[in-house]
Structures are given as structure tokens and as C-alpha cells.
Homo-oligomer: A and B are copies of this chain.
Amino acid sequence: MKPFTFHNPTKIVFGEGTVSKVGEEARAAGRKALFVYGQASLKKSGLYDRIVAALRAAGVEWVEHPGVRPNPVVSHARQGAALAKAQRVDFILAVGGGSVIDASKGIAAGAACDTDLWRFYDGTATIGAALPLVTVLTLPATGTEMNGGTVLTDETTQEKIGFGDPHLFPRCSILDPAVTVSVPAAQTAYGTVDAMSHLLEGYFTHDGGWVPLQERYAEGVIRSLMEATERILADPKDLEARATHMWGATLAWNTLAPCGLGGFTIPNHMLEHPLSAVHDIAHGAGLAVVLPAWMATTAGRGPARAARIARFARGVLGVTAPDDAAAAAEGAARLKAWFAKIGAPTSMAAAGIASPDLERLADLAVKLTKRWGIADHARGDILAVYRACGPG
């Protein structure tokens, strides 16, 4: 284990029916909210009506800032920050998935200062304060409901940048699994893949030495997410499974899992990023393509890497091969088969990428190796993984 600091002040209010508590939790954060959400689905599902009824009952005023898109953009967040300032709101209320909450974090930071909020993303300014943030999560996947991270895209430059800051932990996040019963099968599966990848990057690449607590934590959350996903796909209204899926995705990336792991890298995110940036596929879909290919390729890159992947293969996927390289390879194949079973794409072709330009994807990934400090992935290694993602 390596030294770490852990400090996660987010209050979680979890359980079926907890959406009804949004009024009191909002009121604890202030008298007037900027209510941020995405598309019309919030109104169609009836959730919008329940939220505004709860706000009214609690005596909370609000101004609305709808229209957050998947892969949220900075221009929309800037408008939200300006509106929050003009309307002198006390806090931000985010109701939606990772995109809505991430955008709301940018708004919360931008509304509390005179700095353009993109400067927090491009690293030319540091957050000194942010408005309190209350969230109601509708799509388990990214973990943003219980961490200080946010990702926005500057659509004028196509730059997509993520960062984290202690000011951006939500004050309170309401996790009501009943809200997620309408999440479609594909989004449920992509959320699972996303959450699994959050745990696996550190599991596969850490330099923390002996970390049995951390390995078992990751294995336990992943196995539970896999079981919950299978139950949900069989019965989308299975509330027990929805609850485990929701809490599992939060536990996957709430800053606890990496405690003690020391340094780690995120090669699968590095490999996925060009796929979704160039071909506009869902992040979870891209990860489902990349992860088994990375495992299969990396299993052949030395015994230390193979041992990590083999441990996962044996502990989570039931592989019994005694040889690490063989076990790792079999684990990659089994994970690929499982992704296919839950309806996630496992090749570029299956993800709808008909004619990928692997050289261009590799160029983009190489840039990320530098930005993200992934020194052990040369261009050849990257191309090898992309080639293992199947023909275009």
C-alpha cells in the first residue's frame, strides 16, 4: 500500500422512493436553485413533476437550465453559470446522468467566481469556491455523483478535458433505484462496462505493492455489478438488482477504490477516447470494445502484467488455468463473451465503426499517453490493441 489522502464529504441518500427527499435536501443547501437537467425524457417519465412538487413543498425557488447534452459542452455550462449569477441562486440542483452532473459541476464553479469556467478545465486557473451541488442521479455509470471529477468539451476546439477538485464533490446525492427502471438495456450495460473499467484501470496498473483490500474490493464490486446487470436485463423492473447496480457504480469511482494503490494509469480510457471522439460512440460501448482487446494484448507483455490480468480472470471470471499468460488470455475471451451477452459491442464493427483509420486513432492515443503519463504504451503497443479490436 502507498500513502493516500481520502476525503469524501458527499452525503448519499439512497433507496427506493428517496426522490421525495429532494425538497428537504435542496432546502438544506439554500433557498433558490439553478435546476439543471437534460432532455425531454425527464418530463416524460414524470420525474420532473415529482422534483418540482418536492421543491415547492419545501419552499425552494428555482430557475431552470435544461438542455445538457451527452458529452456536455462548455458553452452551455457558461450560459448556466451566467444564469446562476444573474438570478443569484444559492445552489445547483442537477437531475440526470453523468453529463448533467458533470455540467453542473462546471456551472457550480463558474457561478462562484469571475473566472471563465473553462480555465478550470484547461488548467490555467484553480477553483477557489463553488456553489453547493445537490444531485438526483438517473443513470448509474460514471460515479460523478460521489466524486469531485467533471468532464466537459469545448466544442469550438473539440477539446474534451476532465479534472477533479475537492470543491466539486456534491453536497448531497439522492440515489433512488426506482428512477432507473426506465434506463434502456444498452445504457444499463454501458454503465456496467464504464463502472468496471473504473475499477480495472487501477487494478491492472497500480504500483502499490501488496494491496489485498483494494483487489478484493474491486473484484467484489465487479462481480456484484455483473450479477445485477444480468438480473436487470432479464427483468428491467428488478429493483433489488437496480439498487445493487446503482450503488455498485457509485462505489466503483467514489475515490475509495484507489486508496493505497499508489500511482496507476488509465490505458483503456486512453484507447477508448479516440474511438468515441472520432466515431461518436458511447463511452461505455467504446470501453467494451477496447478492454478485452487490451487484456488479450497486454497478457503477452510480460509476466507481471499477465499476473494481474490472470488474478482478475480467476477471481472474477472463473478461469482455472494455472499458467498466468493462458489464464489472462482466457479471461480476456470470457470478458469479451460476457460483454457480448449483455449487448455491448466487442469489436469496432459491432460498435458501428465500419472503416476505422487505425493509424489516426493511434496518433490520437499517442497524444494522450503524453498528457496522461502512460509511458509504457508505445505506438506499436497501441496499434496492436486496436488491431485486436477486430476488423473494421
Interfacial residues of chain A within 245-286, with CB under 8 A of chain B in the complex: 247-248, 251, 256, 259-260
Contact (Cβ within 8 A) B247 A259: yes
Residue of A6, A9, A223, A251 with highest tally of chain B CB at under 10 A:
A6
Residue A48 at the chain B interface, CB threshold 8 Å? no
Residue A27 at the chain B interface, CB threshold 8 Å? no
Contact (Cβ within 8 A) A220 B216: yes
Contact (Cβ within 8 A) B4 A14: yes
Copy count, this protein chain: 2
Contact (Cβ within 8 A) B213 A221: yes
Closest to A215 in B: B220
Bound together, the chains give a CA A211 to CA B247 distance in angstroms of 11
Bound together, the chains give a CA A251 to CA B209 distance in angstroms of 19
Contact (Cβ within 8 A) A243 B1: yes
Q: In the complex where A219-B220, A227-B212, A240-B209 touch, is A14 in contact with B5 (Cβ < 8 A)?
A: yes
Count chain A residues whose beta carbon lies closer than 8 angstroms to a beta carbon of B.
43
Closest to A21 in B: B5
Residue A359 at the chain B interface, CB threshold 8 Å? no
Interfacial residues of chain A within 1-24, with CB under 8 A of chain B in the complex: 1-18
Residue interface bits A214-235, CB-to-B below 8 A is 1, else 0:
0011011101100110000000
Contact (Cβ within 8 A) B244 A213: yes
Which residues in B have their C-beta under 8 angstroms from that of A372?
A: none
Q: Nearest chain B CB to A79's CB is how many angstroms away?
A: 32
Residue A163 at the chain B interface, CB threshold 8 Å? no
Which residues in B have their C-beta under 8 angstroms from that of A1?
A: 14-15, 177, 240, 243-244, 247
Q: Nearest chain B CB to A282's CB is how many angstroms away?
A: 25
Interfacial residues of chain A within 54-102, with CB under 8 A of chain B in the complex: none
Which residues in B have their C-beta under 8 angstroms from that of A177?
A: 1
Bound together, the chains give a CA A48 to CA B11 distance in angstroms of 35
Q: List 9 A-B contacts (CB under 8 A).
A: A2-B15, A7-B12, A212-B224, A212-B228, A212-B244, A213-B220, A216-B216, A217-B217, A247-B259
